[in-house]
């Protein structure tokens, strides 16, 4: 639904709050579920997240109030409007390097800061590379009340002050992007930490990993997820937020990590758990716990011979990053995407080979 529906419909589907004025609004947890594919937590009774008008709400997940989102919540209601939603999904799709380039292009004085109007130009440019940013209609959809244009919404007051005359520095915005991604990760972890134990089960971590898998592979992966309950070691295993965050950081370094995995595999003829941890540590500077590696190999060691099926693993992680970014098929992004799609039947190891 996230990839095929107009953003107004996605917003309506996941938004859980209606104001007395009938404005449709999101909580931060709603925003996370609208952006990040998630399964219902294994310890809950929920069937799915989101619902259509006229359907019964599937339930409420208890996430702590988000201090991060309150920083720029000008009316202190803790809710996110449609125009803010478009801002957030655009921001979440932007690699730091891409925004830095655009930011510097509009920094005409080369002083490391831009004005409100310059920032709006940067955001307009970024939206042209994001599917929902391109296809939105300023919320002009039946039953969806929007006060004004998306172009004037979001974080402008937070960045530029109430009078809009302040300037935004690049380093402040890049830090904001990092904090935004961290907050979304905390909300995703809280989604699976249904009983507020500060840890999640091995099954929930596995669900978070495969939630973005292609439908043609998802059924097989979910069978492996269910098999975790049959293994006493996995049944008692818990994943901490640090484990969860480290694995998320690994996804951001997927290209060098992929090269390392396939190099290890080609040299040694197989890819063991030690190889996997060494690649993450030596190449990406990320320490993965033994628990995380055990779960990864349970899901992606298809023959159960101690050798990771790296192609399938990389494909699932790549799809998650791509689905969240939702790039438009134009320019360099489109070129890279079309290259990937044309080679879906070729292993990632061949993609990275000379």
- pLDDT tens-digit series, residues 12-50: 989 988 888 888 888 888 888 888 889 999 988 765 454
% of residues, the chain, pLDDT over 90: 29
- pLDDT tens for each residue of 157-169: 888 888 889 999 9
Q: 151 or 17: whose pLDDT is higher?
A: 17
Q: Which two tokens stand for residue 245?
A: 């965050």
- CA distances to 78, 93, 131 from 24, rounded to whole Å, are 13, 23, 21
pLDDT (0 to 100) of residue 302: 81
- pLDDT score for 201: 96
Rounded Cα gap, residues 196 and 221, in angstroms: 26
**Looking at residues 97-119, what average pLDDT do you find?**
84
Residue with tokens 């939206």: 127
Cα 183 from chain centroid? Answer: 11
Q: How confident is the model at residue 129 (pLDDT cuts 50, 70, 90)?
A: low
The pTM score is: 0.80
The dihedral built from the CA positions of residue 163, 168, 172 and 174, taken in this order, carries a sign that is: positive
Count CB atoms within 10 A of the CB of residue 16.
18
Centre a 10 Å sphere on the Cβ of residue 88 and count the other Cβ atoms it contains: 22
Which has the higher per-residue pLDDT, 52 or 262? 262
In the numeric block, the tokens 């040299």 are attached to: 267
Q: Say which range, 63-77, 134-148, 269-283, 310-324, has the weakest mean pLDDT.
A: 134-148
Query: Taking 90 as the threshold, does the pLDDT of residue 156 lie above it?
Result: no
Q: Residue 3's closest CA among 334, 339, 320?
A: 320
Distance CA 228, CA 203 (A): 6
3-state SS string over the chain? CCCCCCHHHHHHHHCCEECCCCCEEECHHHHHHHHCCCCCCCCCCCCCCCCCCCCCCCCCCCCCCCHHHHCCCCCCCCCECHHHHHHHHHHHCCCHHHHHHHHHHHCCCCCCEECHHHHHHHHHHHHCCEHHHHHCCCCCECCECCCCCHHHCCCHHHHHCCCCCCCEEHHHHHHHHHHHHHHHHHHHHHHHCCCCCCEEEHHHHHHHHHCCCCHHHHHHHHHHHHHHHHCHHHHCCEEEHHHHHHHHHHHHCHHHHHHHHHHHHHHHCCCCHHHHHHHHHHHHCCCCCHHHHHHHHHHHCCCCCCCCCHHHHHHHHHHHHHHHHCECCCHHHHHHHHHHHHCCCCCHHHHCCC
pLDDT tops 70 at residue 64:
no
pLDDT of residue 51: 45
pLDDT top residue among 211 and 4: 211
CB 124 within 8 A of CB 190: no
Residue 88 pLDDT = 85
Greater confidence (339 vs 129) lies with 129
Would the pLDDT of 224 be above 50?
yes
Structure confidence by residue, pLDDT tens digits, 244-275:
999 999 998 989 999 998 887 777 778 889 99
Give the residue with greater pLDDT, 335 vs 194: 194
Residue 283: per-residue pLDDT: 94
pLDDT at 130 exceeding the cut of 80: no
């Amino acid at each position: 639904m996230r990839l095929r529906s107009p953003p107004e419909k996605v917003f309506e589907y996941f938004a859980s709050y209606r104001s007395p004025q009938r404005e449709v609004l999101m909580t931060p947890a709603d925003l996370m579920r609208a952006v990040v594919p998630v399964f219902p937590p294994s310890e809950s009774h929920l069937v799915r997240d989101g619902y259509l008008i006229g359907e019964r709400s599937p339930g409420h997940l208890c996430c702590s109030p988000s201090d991060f989102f309150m920083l720029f919540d000008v009316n202190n209601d803790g809710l996110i409007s449609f125009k803010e939603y478009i801002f957030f999904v655009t921001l979440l799709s932007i690699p730091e390097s891409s925004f830095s380039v655009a930011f510097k292009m509009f920094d005409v004085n080369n002083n490391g800061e831009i004005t409100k109007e310059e920032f709006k130009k940067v955001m307009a440019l970024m939206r042209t590379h994001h599917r929902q940013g391109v296809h939105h209609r300023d919320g002009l959809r039946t039953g969806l009340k929007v006060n004004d244009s998306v172009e004037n919404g979001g974080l402008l007051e937070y960045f530029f002050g109430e009078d809009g005359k302040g300037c935004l520095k690049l380093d402040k915005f890049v830090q904001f992007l990092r904090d935004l991604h961290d907050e979304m990760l905390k909300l995703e972890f809280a989604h699976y930490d249904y009983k507020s134990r500060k840890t999640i089960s091995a099954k929930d971590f596995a669900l978070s990993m495969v939630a973005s898998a292609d439908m043609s592979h998802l059924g097989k992966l979910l069978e492996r997820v269910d098999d975790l309950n049959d293994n006493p070691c996995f049944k008692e295993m818990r994943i901490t937020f640090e484990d969860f965050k480290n694995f998320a950081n690994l996804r951001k370094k997927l290209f060098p990590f992929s090269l390392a995995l396939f190099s290890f595999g080609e040299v040694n003829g197989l890819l063991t758990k030690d190889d996997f941890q060494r690649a993450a540590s030596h190449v990406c500077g990320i320490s993965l716990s033994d628990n995380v590696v055990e779960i990864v190999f349970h899901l992606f060691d298809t023959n159960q011979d101690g050798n990771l099926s790296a192609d399938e693993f990389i494909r699932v992680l790549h799809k998650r990053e791509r689905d969240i970014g939702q790039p438009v098929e134009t320019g360099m992004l489109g070129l890279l995407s079309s290259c990937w799609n044309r080679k879906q039947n070729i292993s990632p190891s061949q993609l990275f080979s000379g």
